[in-house]
């Protein structure tokens, strides 16, 4: 009897840049899973998303990842949602089971998994997050809900070019909103700086911020992974600061989807990272 491969994919617009198929293919090959993971180009809009979801469900997909610009609409379309998806206000996973569609958000757990080892043994973390969209909300949720504990207190500040967005995130996660014009002035008291904007991404303007006042013990993270060495991370490394690029979050956020839909084991290891780095280098040529 011939068995059909398990199927999943990623929905977005544009979608040509995605590294998700490479990640899922790596894990499937590593454990010998019979699985297919496809990039699906879906134009912006709720109706376009609804048609795409209906199509993949009809084709027997176990689920789809969701990227820009569909994450908020994906949450609205779901029959049920996880606590993290509701808190972040966006979904990057849609799972199809028993006639239901469940929304989840693994961006938050992905960021937490990537950064947690670098925050070990810190009883207090003063975190400053730049951004106002779904990624910034995911980072704020990870810091306040997933990385805060009895042994670690996280103090959160948020800044965005649109002040109302920063204020909304700060209010939702118990932080302080900082005016965009004052973003460099508060760095002297920060243990962690996170760029959760698209600034610094290939084809976008660089993030303009003077990090000279950051303490020498500070950690600088950027969720952008193309390029891996963003202007922010280069400036931090020039100062000898520890840095975290966007590949860690990307790899870790993919693991729950693979384990839910396609296979059992999703190791985030050096070989996977090297393959992603090679793919990024080839695209940059």
Q: Which residues contact 211 (CB under 8 A, 6 or more apart)?
A: 184, 187, 193, 220, 232, 235, 236, 239, 241
Our count of domains for the chain comes to 2
In this structure, are 262 and 279 located in the same domain? yes
30 is catalytic: no
Going by the DSSP 8-state scheme, the letter that residue 195 receives in this structure is E
Under 8 Å between Cβ of 85 and 75: yes
In this structure, are 43 and 69 located in the same domain? yes
| CATH code for the domain of 201 | 3.40.50.720
Q: Is residue 170 part of a domain?
A: yes
In this structure, are 22 and 118 located in the same domain? no
In this structure, are 96 and 114 located in the same domain? no
Q: Is residue 26 part of a domain?
A: yes
Share of the chain above pLDDT 90, in %: 89
In this structure, are 115 and 178 located in the same domain? yes
In this structure, are 97 and 136 located in the same domain? no
When the pLDDT of each residue in the chain is averaged and rounded to a whole number, the result is 95
3 state DSSP class of 186: coil
* Tokens 């690029």, located at residue: 245
Q: Is residue 153 part of a domain?
A: yes
Q: Is residue 10 part of a domain?
A: yes
In this structure, are 140 and 199 located in the same domain? yes
In this structure, are 181 and 216 located in the same domain? yes
Q: Is residue 155 part of a domain?
A: yes
Q: Is residue 1 part of a domain?
A: no
Q: What is the pLDDT of residue 1?
A: 47
In this structure, are 147 and 260 located in the same domain? no
Q: Is residue 31 part of a domain?
A: yes
Mean of pLDDT values over 259-279: 97
Catalytic residue among 6, 30, 71, 185: 71
**19-39 pLDDT, tens digit each:** 999 999 999 999 999 999 999
Q: Is residue 13 part of a domain?
A: yes
Q: Domain containing 88: what range?
A: 6-104+248-284
Distance CA(213)–CA(190), nearest Å, equals 9
Q: Quick one: how many helices (H) and strands (E) in the chain?
A: 10, 12
Distance CA(232)–CA(81), nearest Å, equals 34
In this structure, are 217 and 137 located in the same domain? yes
Distance CA(1)–CA(8), nearest Å, equals 22
3 state DSSP class of 82: coil
pTM value is 0.94
In this structure, are 52 and 76 located in the same domain? yes
* Tokens 């990039």, located at residue: 39
In this structure, are 26 and 95 located in the same domain? yes
207: left (phi over 0), alpha (psi -120 to 50) or beta: beta
| CATH code for the domain of 47 | 3.40.50.10860
**227-256 pLDDT, tens digit each:** 999 999 999 999 999 999 999 999 999 999
Question: pLDDT band at residue 2, thresholds of 50, 70 and 90?
Answer: low
């Amino acid at each position: 009897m011939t068995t059909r491969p398990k199927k999943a994919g990623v929905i977005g617009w544009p979608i040509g840049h995605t590294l998700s198929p490479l990640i899922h293919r790596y894990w499937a090959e590593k454990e010998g899973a019979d699985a297919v993971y496809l990039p699906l180009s879906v134009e912006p809009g709720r109706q376009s998303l609804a048609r795409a979801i209906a199509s993949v469900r009809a084709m027997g997909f176990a689920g789809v990842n969701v990227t820009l610009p569909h994450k908020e609409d994906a949450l609205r379309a779901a029959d049920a949602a996880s606590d993290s998806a509701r808190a972040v206000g966006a979904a990057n996973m849609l799972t199809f089971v028993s006639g239901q569609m469940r929304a989840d958000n693994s961006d938050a757990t992905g960021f937490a998994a990537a950064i947690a080892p670098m925050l070990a043994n810190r009883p207090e973390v003063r975190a400053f997050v730049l951004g106002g969209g779904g990624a910034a909300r995911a980072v704020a949720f990870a810091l306040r809900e997933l990385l805060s504990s009895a042994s670690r207190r996280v103090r959160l500040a948020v800044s965005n070019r649109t002040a109302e967005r920063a204020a909304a995130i700060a209010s939702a996660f118990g932080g302080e909103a900082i005016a965009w014009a004052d973003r460099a002035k508060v760095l002297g008291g920060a243990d962690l700086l996170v760029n959760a904007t698209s600034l610094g991404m290939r084809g976008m303007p660089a993030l303009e911020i003077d990090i000279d006042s950051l303490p020498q013990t500070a950690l600088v993270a950027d969720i952008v992974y193309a390029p891996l060495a963003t202007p922010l991370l280069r400036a931090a490394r020039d100062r000898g600061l520890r840095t975290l690029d966007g590949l860690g979050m990307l790899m870790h956020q993919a693991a729950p989807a693979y384990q839910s839909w396609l296979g059992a084991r999703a190791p985030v290891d050096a070989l996977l990272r090297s393959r992603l780095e090679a793919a990024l280098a080839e695209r940059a040529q």
